[in-house]
Amino acid sequence: MTLLLVIFLPLLGACMPLWCERYGRTVCAFSAAVAPLISIGLLIYHLPVIFAGDVLFFHQEWLPLLGMNLSLRLDGLSMMFGLLITGIGLLVILYARYYLAEKDSLGKLYGLLQIFMMAMLGIVMSDNILLMIVFWELTSLSSFLLISYWSIKSEARKGARMALMITGAGGLALLAGALLLGDIVGSFSLSVILASGDEIRAHSLYPVVLILVLLGAFTKSAQFPFHFWLPHAMSAPTPVSAYLHSATMVKAGVFLLARMYPALAGTDLWFYIVTGTGLTTLVFAAYTALFKHDLKGLLAFSTISHLGLITMLFGLNSQLGAIAGIFHIINHATFKASLFMAAGIIDHETGTRDMRRINGMWRYMPVTATVAMVAASAMAGVPLLNGFLSKEMFFAETLHLEALGHYAWLVPLLATLAGIFAVAYSYRFIHDVFFNGEPIDLPKYPPHEAPPYMIVPMAILVVLCVLVGTLPNFTVAPFLDAASLAVIGTEMPSYKIAIWHGFNLPLVMSFIALAGGLLLYYQRKGFFAFYERQYRRDEKIVFEARVQRSVRLAQSITKRLETGSLQRYLVLFVGMAIVAAGLELWPLASFTGGVATTPIDGVSVLATLVLIVGALGTVIIHHNRFAALLLLSVVGLIVALIFVRFSAPDLALTQLSVEVVTIVLMMLSLYFLPQVSPSESSRLRISRDILLASAAGIGMGLLTWAVLTRPYDSIADYYLANSVSGGGGTNVVNVILVDFRGFDTLGEITVLAIAAVGIFAMLRRLRLPVPNADGTGRVWSKDPYPPILMVLARILLPLALMVSFYIFLRGHNLPGGGFIAGLITSVALILQYVASGTDWVQQRLDWPYRSVAAGGVLIATATGLASWVFGYPFLTSTFTHVHWPIVGEFELASAMVFDTGVYITVVGATLVILSNLGKLAQTSYDTPAETTQEESPWKP
């Protein structure tokens, strides 16, 4: 549990400084320090256990089916990193309090820093590789926000975007690698993965996994050729740089190398890729660092170079190499954090970071100068400082590379060369800034010594550098032992950190580097001139150009695919549907199955012909919309007849009544739409559409034929057997609707009611031009209510209502039911609207139809709920038979109440739609005939 606290306290702590900012900057800083302090305290509390060689675990299931769990571990490596992250984090919090200007929000910086801290702690303490990737991505995201802290600066935004893109892409590769690893091992648990190193290395996918994981590590650790994001991330506030580029962010990459060392290292592939990349980065970045005039630019490239060194040490496949790598992680974190802080102080006091202008600072800030000089010496690898020890170990390791055969001498040579550059740029940092004459044209003059609390965190780190450098065995040794144990396993080689190993080759290399570096620095003029002559591309410009290019490419592809034309989308959609169905139908040996067909009779052929004529006719004359509508209703009637022909009286009744309502609705709408569709499709488009439509039609026909001529099995028997006994009705279709599948029906009527409400909403405040002539130019009659229709409609109303009541009542046992009865009632009422007008009906029948529809749904739902009251599942039905005088035996079923709900919903919804559409004519406005003609190309 404490492990969980270690990670998530900083997350909780992230809110504190934001809240405390109003009470002043010091309170804010203290509030920010609370959570990391507790975290580091908890870590130190566990220190004895870790030193004893034990590992602490915490396990909480999260998504066990995906293999992702909240599993944490605390071993030597996590402990070492955890202490660095929280410790340097605390120092950075103190430093930032005095670094940040009054106008910048301290709370925001602290909040982001702690989120970042949480993510880093999560990476180093995850025992589940997927969980680790979650935290890994969190560091990418939070570092994006930290780098772009001064988001008004374009530099900061671009730098942050570059960092996010490179590390994000690496994270993606890492995720792929982790998924493959999990696939190979069968678990995402880090403990399992680390224990299955042999299995992983022997697997055929090992090279793929290795390259993917290394991509993740190299992008994060800014290894060549992914290094270019790091110098641009320097646009972050210096406390952020000090944190991200010393102990955290970039160290996550080398942490991954250390963490995965037992699982992935030990092969030739590992050696060549990791050592090669590390060595290239080491030499290249050390060389470049020397020529950077920007103080932070120099430190940035020096960071890249040192990361290359660490990477290379892990790549050597030697246990001592890995130990040296871990050691250098600690050393680099301490001296580099303090150097960044020094750079921040100088920037803060002089207003610039250009080393050509900052000179002679020794006189203005002696304390800062002393501390910074010690740190820079540690970076150079001067004896008695920590950098010397790990660099010495590095030199020693480069001497035993038997794998390279005759070229083995090349590595120590390059390593020494990098050492020379490192000394040169470190010495440049000291000499250019603190000596070398007088400052030139400083924005702030004269510079002062920094406030003591800015120097304190820096000094603490430098004291550590000295202590580790002079007394390694009393300070760093136990940490190093514990961390190494976690990386290389139980077989620890005997090694000794010592300042004096005797006069040997590594020592000679160290001295060559020191002497060569000083010499190089004093001959710098020629080298600088040489460097300036080189043509160099600005990575940022290249990067931005490439980003822009890919954005443009994406835009052009999107534009081509998404034209915004629904017509076009539908073509693609139908085309895809035909292809998809065709692929399935194609392998069929024969479309005709083995089942015999039923005989054809003359009436059916005639009806089919009428339907075909109707359907094709609708298409052919569709430009004349009204005529097409009439032909469409013919098709609808024939469909109803087909239902009759094949034993579906319920469907026939429904189809008939829906047909009436639909046609009325379409006519009403057509009144407000152009009467004629213009002939605007090109010949090519018409041919294409005919082709598509024919393919779709023939496909559906063949499919139907193929299905109908094959045997089938149905669950119908269950419904037929249980309809009377279980549902109390003989009309099985109705019993299915209101009883067996009542829940479905409840859904359907809800949809109906929602559609009605949606239509109501769309019709509100809708104003449309009202044409005063029909499609053929005849003026609409000003006498809208013909007396004969009016009289007939009024007589029909009670009759129709009675029929619908009858249909409703008998529905459970004979064709009929709520749906059909509702539609019949609606038709009868609509007829009144048509015959006598909205006003007339509303005076007599002022129902709020929306509430009626809603009420219907409620009744149906309440019926369902009622069965809960009696302890049955939702919508359980019951029925009983009562004997009424005259009527005789009569059945009462709870399903009938449900059906009443259906009935009321159908009536309500239909009338909401139609009455509101009918009202539209009143709210709309008359337009002169010319306007209507303009909109339809038709000429009277």
Partner 1 sequence: MEALISIIIAVLTGCGVYLMLRGRTFPVIIGLTLLSYAVNLFIFVMGRLHSGAPAVIGAGDRYTDPLPQALVLTAIVISFAMTAFLLVLALRARAELGNDHVDGRPTAEDDAQ
Do 221 and 233 meet the contact criterion of CB atoms below 8 Å apart? no
Going by C-alpha positions, the residue among 258, 269, 181, 185 that lies closest to residue 220 is: 258
List all residues 6 or more positions away from 744 whose beta carbon is below 8 Å from its beta carbon: 737
Which string of x and - marks every residue 847-886 that binds partner 1 (by CB under 8 A)?
----------------------------------------
What are the distances in angstroms from CA 259 to CA 119, 143, 206? 16, 22, 17
CA-based R_g, the chain, Å: 41
In angstroms, the CA 513 to CA 501 distance is 18
In angstroms, the CA 144 to CA 160 distance is 5
Which string of x and - marks every residue 896-915 that binds partner 1 (by CB under 8 A)?
----------x--x---x--
Contacts to partner 1 from residues 127-156, by CB under 8 A? none
Rounded least distance, CB 704 to partner 1, Å: 4
The DSSP letter of residue 357 is T
Rounded least distance, CB 567 to partner 1, Å: 6
> β-strands 68-74, 888-893: how paired?
unpaired
Do 653 and 807 meet the contact criterion of CB atoms below 8 Å apart? yes
Strand partners, 888: 884
Q: Report how many residues bind partner 1 under the rule CB under 8 A.
A: 115
Q: Which of 508, 541, 557, 693 binds partner 1 (CB under 8 A)?
A: 693
Q: Dihedrals φ, ψ of 60, to 5°?
A: -140, 125
Binding range to partner 1, per CB under 8 A, among 349-357, 522-530, 693-701, 872-880: 693-701
What are the distances in angstroms from CA 122 to CA 59, 74, 109, 750? 14, 11, 20, 48
In the complex with partner 1, the residue whose CB is nearer, 128 or 745, is: 745
Q: Which of 96, 215, 736, 852 binds partner 1 (CB under 8 A)?
A: 736
Residue 689's H or E segment, with its range, is: helix 683-708
In the complex with partner 1, the residue whose CB is nearer, 523 or 730, is: 730
Alpha-carbon 745 to chain mean position: 37
In the complex with partner 1, the residue whose CB is nearer, 34 or 621, is: 621
Which string of x and - marks every residue 566-605 that binds partner 1 (by CB under 8 A)?
xxx-xx--x----------------------xxxx---xx
In the complex with partner 1, the residue whose CB is nearer, 475 or 633, is: 633
Binding range to partner 1, per CB under 8 A, among 43-51, 208-216, 473-481, 765-773: 765-773
Do 346 and 483 meet the contact criterion of CB atoms below 8 Å apart? no
In the complex with partner 1, the residue whose CB is nearer, 444 or 568, is: 568
Binding range to partner 1, per CB under 8 A, among 71-79, 305-313, 557-565, 890-898: 557-565
Q: Which of 681, 842, 843, 851 binds partner 1 (CB under 8 A)?
A: 681
Q: What is the maximal distance between C-alpha atoms in the chain?
A: 124
In angstroms, the CA 809 to CA 74 distance is 74
164 binds partner 1 (CB under 8 A): no
938 binds partner 1 (CB under 8 A): no
559 binds partner 1 (CB under 8 A): no
Q: Dihedrals φ, ψ of 663, to 5°?
A: -65, -40
Residue 138's H or E segment, with its range, is: helix 129-147
In the complex with partner 1, the residue whose CB is nearer, 52 or 715, is: 715
634 binds partner 1 (CB under 8 A): no
In the complex with partner 1, the residue whose CB is nearer, 523 or 694, is: 694
Tokens of 397: 């390791």
Tokens of 550: 């890919």
Rounded least distance, CB 731 to partner 1, Å: 5
689 binds partner 1 (CB under 8 A): yes
Binding range to partner 1, per CB under 8 A, among 375-383, 636-644, 828-836, 872-880: 636-644
Q: Dihedrals φ, ψ of 101, to 5°?
A: -70, 160
In the complex with partner 1, the residue whose CB is nearer, 72 or 920, is: 920
494 binds partner 1 (CB under 8 A): no
Which string of x and - marks every residue 653-672 that binds partner 1 (by CB under 8 A)?
-xx--x--xx--xx--xx-x
22 binds partner 1 (CB under 8 A): no
Q: Which of 199, 748, 774, 891 binds partner 1 (CB under 8 A)?
A: 748
Contacts to partner 1 from residues 376-405, by CB under 8 A? none
Contacts to partner 1 from residues 917-936, by CB under 8 A? 917, 920, 935
Rounded least distance, CB 848 to partner 1, Å: 19
Angle at the Cα of 26 (from 24 to 29), degrees rounded to 5? 110
In the complex with partner 1, the residue whose CB is nearer, 64 or 599, is: 599
Do 614 and 635 meet the contact criterion of CB atoms below 8 Å apart? yes
Do 614 and 637 meet the contact criterion of CB atoms below 8 Å apart? no
Rounded least distance, CB 793 to partner 1, Å: 22
Binding range to partner 1, per CB under 8 A, among 47-55, 56-64, 582-590, 611-619: 611-619
110 binds partner 1 (CB under 8 A): no
558 binds partner 1 (CB under 8 A): no
Binding range to partner 1, per CB under 8 A, among 254-262, 371-379, 673-681, 779-787: 673-681
750 binds partner 1 (CB under 8 A): no
Rounded least distance, CB 549 to partner 1, Å: 25
Binding range to partner 1, per CB under 8 A, among 125-133, 211-219, 327-335, 737-745: 737-745
Contacts to partner 1 from residues 768-827, by CB under 8 A? 768, 813-815, 819
Rounded least distance, CB 133 to partner 1, Å: 43
In angstroms, the CA 209 to CA 192 distance is 16
Tokens of 25: 């900057």
Contacts to partner 1 from residues 695-734, by CB under 8 A? 696-702, 704-705, 707-709, 712, 714-716, 719-720, 723-724, 730-733
What are the distances in angstroms from CA 398 to CA 20, 317, 326, 570, 845? 52, 11, 16, 66, 98
Binding range to partner 1, per CB under 8 A, among 194-202, 409-417, 530-538, 613-621: 613-621
In the complex with partner 1, the residue whose CB is nearer, 720 or 802, is: 720
Q: Which of 66, 498, 690, 791 binds partner 1 (CB under 8 A)?
A: 690
Q: In this structure, what is the dihedral angle of CA atoms 363, 364, 367, 369, given to the nearest 10 degrees?
A: -70
In the complex with partner 1, the residue whose CB is nearer, 108 or 645, is: 645
Do 728 and 812 meet the contact criterion of CB atoms below 8 Å apart? yes
Kindly tell me the sign of the dihedral angle through the C-alpha atoms of 653, 658, 659, 664. Answer: positive
In the complex with partner 1, the residue whose CB is nearer, 7 or 913, is: 913
What are the distances in angstroms from CA 538 to CA 222, 277, 281, 440, 758? 17, 22, 18, 27, 57
3-state class of 57 per DSSP? strand
Going by C-alpha positions, the residue among 352, 349, 271, 348 that lies closest to residue 314 is: 271
Q: In this structure, what is the dihedral angle of CA atoms 208, 209, 211, 217, given to the nearest 10 degrees?
A: 160
What are the distances in angstroms from CA 203 to CA 209, 260, 264? 10, 16, 11
What are the distances in angstroms from CA 526 to CA 380, 515, 521, 530, 531? 22, 18, 10, 6, 9
Rounded least distance, CB 826 to partner 1, Å: 10
621 binds partner 1 (CB under 8 A): no
In the complex with partner 1, the residue whose CB is nearer, 201 or 622, is: 622
889 binds partner 1 (CB under 8 A): no
Q: Which of 154, 204, 490, 647 binds partner 1 (CB under 8 A)?
A: 647
Rounded least distance, CB 551 to partner 1, Å: 23
In angstroms, the CA 306 to CA 339 distance is 14
